[in-house]
Amino acid sequence: MPEYSRVNQRPDAVRVAVVAAGIVSPLGFGLSETYATLREGRDCVSPVTRFPVEHCRCKAAGQVSDVRLAGAGRPQLRSERLHRVAQMMILALGEALAQAPGFQPELSVVGTTSGGMSFGEEYYRSLRGGRTSSHRAACLIANYTPQKPVMDAQEAFGLSTPCQVIANACASGTNAIGHAFDCIRSGRYERILTGGYDALSELVFVGFDSLQASTPERCRPFDHERTGLVIGEGAAILLLENLESARARGAKIVAEIAGYGISTDNHHLTQPNPSGSGPRQAMEGALLSAGLSAGEIDYINAHGTATPFNDAAEGKAIVELFDGVAVSSTKGMMGHSLGAAGAIEAIISILALQNQFLPPNINFRNGDAELDLNIVANCSQPGNVRTVLSNSFGFGGTNASVIIRAIDV
Amino acid sequence: MSLGLAGMGWVTPMGSDLTGVWNRLLNGETGLAQSVSSPFGRAYPVFPVPAEATAQAPAHPRLRRSSAISRFAVVAGLAALKDANVELDAEAAARTALIFAVSNGGVIYTKRFYHEIVQSGAQAASPLLFPETVFNAPASHLAAILGISGASYTLVGDGAVGMLALKMAENLMESETLDRCLVVGAEEADWLLCDAYAKWRLLRSTPPIEPFEKPPRGTVLSEGAGAVLLSRGGDIRLEKVAAGTNFRRQSEAGDALERVFAELVDGEIDLVVASANGTFIDAAEDAAVLQNCPKAKVYAMKQALGESVGASSLWQTICGAQCLRTQTAPPDSRRIPVPDAGVSRARNDGQLRRVIISVCGLNQQVAGLRLATP
């Protein structure tokens, strides 16, 4: 097994607590709604209405309701300059900070793929149509940049923390959590704000459609007849803190980030090595970093996009490393929220730990004969869940895995 | 932990030879601006990278369809490794991390891809273009060419993103499993960006960039890449990296920079390599220097190379390191408002020991670092 994070295995290594979390996704606004939807196994994918999709193969996505965003009741959300993904971030950060009053992060490490890209699209269309005021044009430019939503969210709560915004494609959210974990574990930081965000954009939606990576059918992760992903959106925030400091100040500890692995698969810009070596290296790195064996993982929240290549590579790596561990991809319910996915799924993993259940892999009919996976098929299940591994893999060969465990382990 | 700059490489509007470009900067030369036109009848000046600057890009399959930004990054990255005499075999590559800094990314392909959607509908969108629009595509190409199989991160941000990448590298190098970290910043120019920055009222219609002029007259965009190889040795020490902060309004940039300088200034500072680019940044930076290190010389290299956003922090860092390496600095930018070719260089033989790289982005981020001779 390669030595990715050996430094983290020192007996005196700092432990890293999750002290709060907040989430907005197609599954719901906030932790409670998200949990209820997961238990129910509801399909939250719906027809796309934000832009024309008649010429796309795929016509559906996991979407966050604009009506609900507008009605969320926070005065900070009203500014016309705010992109809707910034609004999602404000709500997610607000929920997290409400659980950890006075939390002052020294650093923010968050993931995204395209931030407020739809503002850039609006700007480009306005050039051709010539119908946007100069004020609006300047506003679109200043606010389409990918780092802006997290800065807007911080600003809404009076924070001016430096932001490292990771754009490692679909692994961004998990990379952000992992790097934040490494920073605290190294002893250089006490408190870090981490998470991920992305909003539906025409460019990205059509991009995946052009690659035929998205499906005109239902999203069926790990199914023998899987035909591709559906895009999603959302925002999720986790507040991480040195466990000892958090305990000393009497903070509520939600969970512990125990390990992180990262790898780069150089096989192809958009396709994983079919051997599954990239995902395997990331998962091995996370286990090593946590000082755990594969047998100590109770549940894997898989990347599971439902594309034939991704699920095959990830499934192969899981089968090689683990022996019958419960696996599900929750993307069938909410779509693939790209840079937000890793953070959203980390929170789903925390909900599984807190509520002792296995989130479902919906739309599942027949398992892939090539992959002997223990899929949590279609319905959530009660489970003895103490330690979870969450995967995210992306274009560019970026692979990331984090291990999250219940705090009393 | 003591980190150093073991190697450096850049691709700039004045070429890609480290020493050659450096000598031209010392001589007060500037890049050659060209006009780019939008299809809507507007023309903007940019400092483009000359074709010969990337002629040595390897004939690798990953670069067959890649955008200019990827070629800039690969050439700069390979040059930094060569400068450090580092050859990455599989074992060395596994102990090397890559951090990539970018602001606008592969804007040329992104514009082409979206243009096809707008012009002809989604069915016309090219699956060949889309992957190159993803922010981490250049990093992926560079990692593939170098064989890096472990940590690879792409950071996005404004002109301060390169500095944030150096901070991330400093954090990553805490791990004993890494021997070095290659930090690359890159950007490509296009009329679409010029149009956007013009509407943002940050661009001027013709060169030159006049740093520290009052009132500020605007900047000129450029393109290219900068790369530095960090290791636990190296001939230039990375004494401190300030991850910085964010400002809400342009009028608050000075306060934000003040905090960065307060963190970085510790004893005598000989030189500040500034990010002044002919915009609101200049006054904020000038005030921070006067307040915190009034005796320091100030060099604003964007007057020569333009505003390359994602690449700019790395260019500034290389410039600062070259000042320390060669014990020579270009003329003080505050006293030479319009640099002309042939301006005599300011020599500081044996006197340059500590340099601050000050970075203020156009979209709310500030950061900085301090370099020193061993």
The secondary structure of residue B267, as a DSSP letter, is S
Q: State whether B117 and A397 contact (CB < 8 Å).
A: no
Q: Is B167 helix (H, G, I), strand (E, B) or coil?
A: helix
pLDDT of res. A11: 56
Among the listed residues A145, A260, A144, the one whose alpha carbon sits nearest the alpha carbon of residue A192: A260
Whether B120 and chain A come into contact, CB under 8 Å, resolves to no
Is residue A231 scored above 80 in pLDDT? Answer: yes
Give me the mean pLDDT over the A1-12 stretch: 49
Interface of B with A in 158-187 (CB under 8 A): 158, 161, 164, 167-168, 171-172, 174-177
* Chain segment A289-341, per-residue pLDDT in tens: 999 999 999 999 999 999 999 999 999 999 999 999 999 999 999 999 999 99
For testing contact with chain B, the best of A16, A53, A206, A265 (most B CBs within 10 A): A206
Contacts 24+ apart (CB under 8 A), A63-67: A63/A26, A63/A200, A63/A232, A63/A233, A64/A24, A64/A25, A64/A26, A64/A88, A64/A199, A64/A233, A64/A234
| Residues in a beta bridge with B235 | none
Q: State whether B125 and A394 contact (CB < 8 Å).
A: no
Angle between helices B312-326 and B18-26 (to 10 degrees): 80
* Chain segment B140-195, per-residue pLDDT in tens: 999 999 999 999 999 999 999 999 999 999 999 999 999 999 999 999 999 999 99
The CATH code of the domain that includes A98 is: 3.40.47.10
A170 annotated active-site: yes
The structure's pTM equals 0.96
Q: Are B26 and B348 in contact (CB under 8 A)?
A: no
**What distance in Å separates the CA atoms of residue A220 and residue A333, rounded to the nearest whole number?**
10
Q: B214: distance to nearest CA of chain A, Å?
A: 23
Q: State whether B365 and A162 contact (CB < 8 Å).
A: yes
Residue of chain A with shortest Cα separation from B111: A124
Is residue A242 scored above 80 in pLDDT? Answer: yes
Give me the mean pLDDT over the A68-74 stretch: 82
pLDDT of res. A370: 87
Structurally, chain B folds into a number of domains equal to 1
A388 part of a folded domain: yes
**CA B103 distance to own-chain centroid:** 10
Q: Are B155 and A164 in contact (CB under 8 A)?
A: yes
Structural domain harbouring A370: 16-405
pLDDT of res. B369: 98
Structural domain harbouring B277: 3-372
Amino acid residing at A163:
C
For testing contact with chain B, the best of A3, A7, A114, A269 (most B CBs within 10 A): A269
Chain A residues closer than 8 Å to B155 by CB: 164-167
DSSP letters for B203-237: B-SSSPP-TT-SS---B-EE-EEEEEEEES--SEE
Residue of chain A with shortest Cα separation from B260: A162
Among the listed residues B284, B363, B36, the one whose alpha carbon sits nearest the alpha carbon of residue A139: B363
Q: B303: distance to nearest CA of chain A, Å?
A: 24
pLDDT band for position A182 (50/70/90)? very high
The secondary structure of residue A395, as a DSSP letter, is G
A83 annotated active-site: no
The secondary structure of residue B84, as a DSSP letter, is T
A55 annotated active-site: no
Give me the mean pLDDT over the A186-207 stretch: 97
Mean pLDDT split into 10-residue runs, chain B, 374 residues:
93 98 96 95 96 96 95 98 96 97 97 96 95 97 97 97 98 95 98 94 95 96 98 92 94 96 95 98 96 95 98 98 96 59 45 96 96 94
pLDDT of res. B348: 55
A39 part of a folded domain: yes
Among the listed residues A97, A107, A165, the one whose alpha carbon sits nearest the alpha carbon of residue A340: A165
The secondary structure element, H or E, covering residue B272 is strand B271-274
List phi, psi (to 5°) of B152. -140, 125
H-type alpha helices, B201-345: 253-264, 281-292, 302-305, 312-326
Which tokens go with A276?
Answer: 């599954």
Which tokens go with A277?
Answer: 């070596």
The CATH code of the domain that includes B194 is: 3.40.47.10
| Residues in a beta bridge with B61 | none
A157 part of a folded domain: yes
A180: which residues sit within 8 A by CB, 6+ positions away?
A: A107, A109, A192, A193, A194, A240
Look up the ipTM and state it.
0.96
Catalytic residue among A170, A179, A183, A219: A170
Q: B106: distance to nearest CA of chain A, Å?
A: 12
Q: State whether B175 and A7 contact (CB < 8 Å).
A: yes
Interface of B with A in 272-331 (CB under 8 A): none
Q: State whether A203 and B114 contact (CB < 8 Å).
A: yes
Of chain A, the percentage scoring pLDDT greater than 70 comes to 95
| Residues in a beta bridge with B370 | B240, B356
pLDDT of res. A129: 80
Give me the mean pLDDT over the A49-74 stretch: 92
pLDDT band for position A76 (50/70/90)? low
A284 part of a folded domain: yes
How many helices, marked H, and strands, marked E, lie in chain B? Answer: 12, 15
Q: State whether B153 and A166 contact (CB < 8 Å).
A: yes
pLDDT of res. B345: 47
Q: A37: distance to nearest CA of chain B, Å?
A: 31
Whether B38 and chain A come into contact, CB under 8 Å, resolves to yes
A158 part of a folded domain: yes
**What distance in Å separates the CA atoms of residue B96 and residue A267, rounded to the nearest whole number?**
18
Chain B residues closer than 8 Å to A127 by CB: 38, 40, 195
CB atoms within 10 A of CB B13: 25
Indicate left, alpha or beta for A259 from its phi (over 0: left) and psi (-120 to 50: alpha): beta
**What distance in Å separates the CA atoms of residue A155 and residue A206, rounded to the nearest whole number?**
32
Whether B112 and chain A come into contact, CB under 8 Å, resolves to no
Q: State whether A160 and B256 contact (CB < 8 Å).
A: yes
Q: State whether B149 and A270 contact (CB < 8 Å).
A: no
